[in-house]
Amino acid sequence: MPFKKIFLNEKDIPRRWYNLAADLPSPMQPPLGPDGNPLKPEMLAKVFPMNIIEQEVSTARWIDIPDEILELLTLWRPAPLRRALALEKYLLTPAHIYYKDESTSPAGSHKPNTAVAQAWYNKKFGIKRLTTETGAGQWGCALAFACNLIGLECKVYMVRISFDQKPLRKIMMQTWGANCIASPSGQTHAGRQILKKMPHTPGSLGIAISEAVEDAVTDKSGSSRYSLGSVLNHVLLHQTVIGLEAKKQLKIAGERKPDVVIGCVGGGSNFAGIAFPFICDKIHGEKIEIIPVEPTACPTLTKGPFTYDFGDTAGLTPLLPMYTLGHGFVPEPIHAGGLRYHGMAPLVSQAAVEGLINPRAFDQIKCYEAAMLWAKTEGTICAPETSHAIACTIDEAKKAKKEGKEKVILFCYSGHGLMDLAGYDKFLSGKLTAYSMPKHKIEESLRPLKNFPKARKIKTGRW
Ligand SMILES: Cc1ncc(COP(=O)(O)O)c(C=O)c1O
């Protein structure tokens, strides 16, 4: 009988993170400071501790995971690799569908993989308090959990629409001792400015980032820093334990390699976690199709240009070379709150420029239909973000059936949806629509970028 789940021993947890920056065949362009010149690492010192900035700019292929972080990760890692045999049977597909189950972490998603690492490095640097933003609440919960574990204060600016849609996430954050408020708030200059212009805005990750960064850098005690749950190199790095474990587990299952690797993308860290170790194999000659999946309501990779843009709405972050819908973009209030981000991680963006990954977009109706089929076959209720990866997996499994190929499909089950039932309720009562971002809205939100520095699309042409 084929395996249903594969566990690793605690001693098999990866000892090093994988850094794709070391292997990307085309060079990354640097982040730019306010003067338009490449940013010097020390210019970030008010935002992040120096030990994290060192990781951010590192081009080493492997970075050792400190023993104390490994010990924290073993609270829930290694995470199981499961095979979706019931879904395979339902679809009558010859494909083997595997999924890395990141929903088993205390906060219910992949996010704690970087939250504990970031909290640990901040504590080591002498920081006492972290600020952050959260969309759906998964990241806020992860950082609240990690700060509690390590002994740091935590303040979370939660995007207004999610704050209203997902009150249980706020209670989780409070249970771990964090202070969670709705963004835009009246507590920061950036928040007040936005409320003046758009008093009824549902908020966005870009706005919440502006508030959290401002809060950290204006703390006169100097003991606050900001922590980001996605996008930046060090965050993507910390998530690579997902793909590194999956590689070992696929071997145990008797699979030489996956043919297709799939992850949903917001800012890019979940996708990077499952995909980067396999992108490394692809760079070195393996044939693997690697698919980031985003919502049609926020089609950063599939419809946005590759250019320099701010990571936040108020323009407090450096300019990053990335696919973007414009830093002022406020997406429709779809339920996959964690995928409502205007930009894409520079490392994921450069992999897309190089042609190493093939992005796709799905609307929320198709995603909820996939989530329902998943619940009825595999039994678990997935996060709305995760449903994007499932929708794509189902398409790929059907394609394998059409082609008559026994393909190995791997995707990241990035989180459970037990705190997201309001979205299921709306779907079940027919209140959701299949929203796609119209072209004129994209053009409008890109207008402010007209005079920004242009990023060059540098690629080798090998893929
Ligand atoms: C369950 C889940 N999956 C995926 C994502 C997307 O993560 P990323 O921003 O790292 O792409 C999120 C973001 O909040 C999430 O909560």
Q: Domain range for residue 270?
A: 5-13+63-108+233-449
Distance CA(173)–CA(176), nearest Å, equals 5
Distance CA(283)–CA(302), nearest Å, equals 22
By DSSP bridging, strand 5-6 and strand 81-83 are antiparallel
- Which stretches of the chain drop beneath a pLDDT of 50? none
The number of CA neighbours under 13 Å toward the Cβ of 11 is: 0
Helices 138-150 and 167-175, axial angle in degrees (round to 10)? 10
Confirm or reject: Cβ of 417 under 6 Å from ligand 1: no
Is 47 inside any structural domain?
Answer: no
- Quick one: which of 276, 397, 197 has its CA closest to 18? 276
Is 0.85 surpassed by the pTM of this model?
Answer: yes
- The amino acid at residue 331 is P
User: In testing the pocket of ligand 1, which one of 110, 168, 294, 357 has its CB within 8 Å of the most ligand atoms?
Assistant: 110
Is 136 inside any structural domain?
Answer: no
Confirm or reject: Cβ of 384 under 6 Å from ligand 1: no
Confirm or reject: Cβ of 414 under 6 Å from ligand 1: yes
Question: Buried b vs exposed e over 131-170: b needs ≥16 C-beta within 10 Å?
Answer: bbbbbbbbbbbbbbbbbbbbebbbbbbbbbbbbebbeebb
C-alpha distance from residue 256 to each of 7, 112, 249, 288, 366 (Å): 18, 29, 10, 12, 31
Is 257 inside any structural domain?
Answer: yes
Can you give the pLDDT at residue 314?
83
Confirm or reject: Cβ of 313 under 6 Å from ligand 1: no
Distance CA(134)–CA(139), nearest Å, equals 6
C-alpha distance from residue 104 to each of 80, 224, 372, 426 (Å): 8, 30, 20, 26
**Atom from ligand 1 closest to the CA of residue 270:** 10
Can you give the pLDDT at residue 166?
83
Is 79 inside any structural domain?
Answer: yes
Model pLDDT for residues 174-232, shown as the tens digit of each residue: 999 999 999 999 999 999 999 999 999 999 888 999 999 999 999 999 999 999 999 99
Model pLDDT for residues 417-431, shown as the tens digit of each residue: 999 998 999 999 999
**Atom from ligand 1 closest to the CA of residue 386:** 3
Tell me which residue has its CA closest to atom 6 in ligand 1: 266
d(CA 461, ligand 1 centre) in Å? 30
Could you give the number of structural domains in the chain?
1
**Atom from ligand 1 closest to the CA of residue 339:** 6
Can you give the pLDDT at residue 340?
82
Confirm or reject: Cβ of 132 under 6 Å from ligand 1: no
Is 45 inside any structural domain?
Answer: no
| Burial classification of residue 34, based on how many CB atoms lie within 10 Å of its CB (0-12 exposed, 13-18 middle, 19 or more buried) | exposed
Reduced to 3 states (helix: H, G, I; strand: E, B; else coil), residue 110 is: coil
Residue 338: give its domain's CATH number: 3.40.50.1100
Is 401 inside any structural domain?
Answer: yes
Is 156 inside any structural domain?
Answer: no
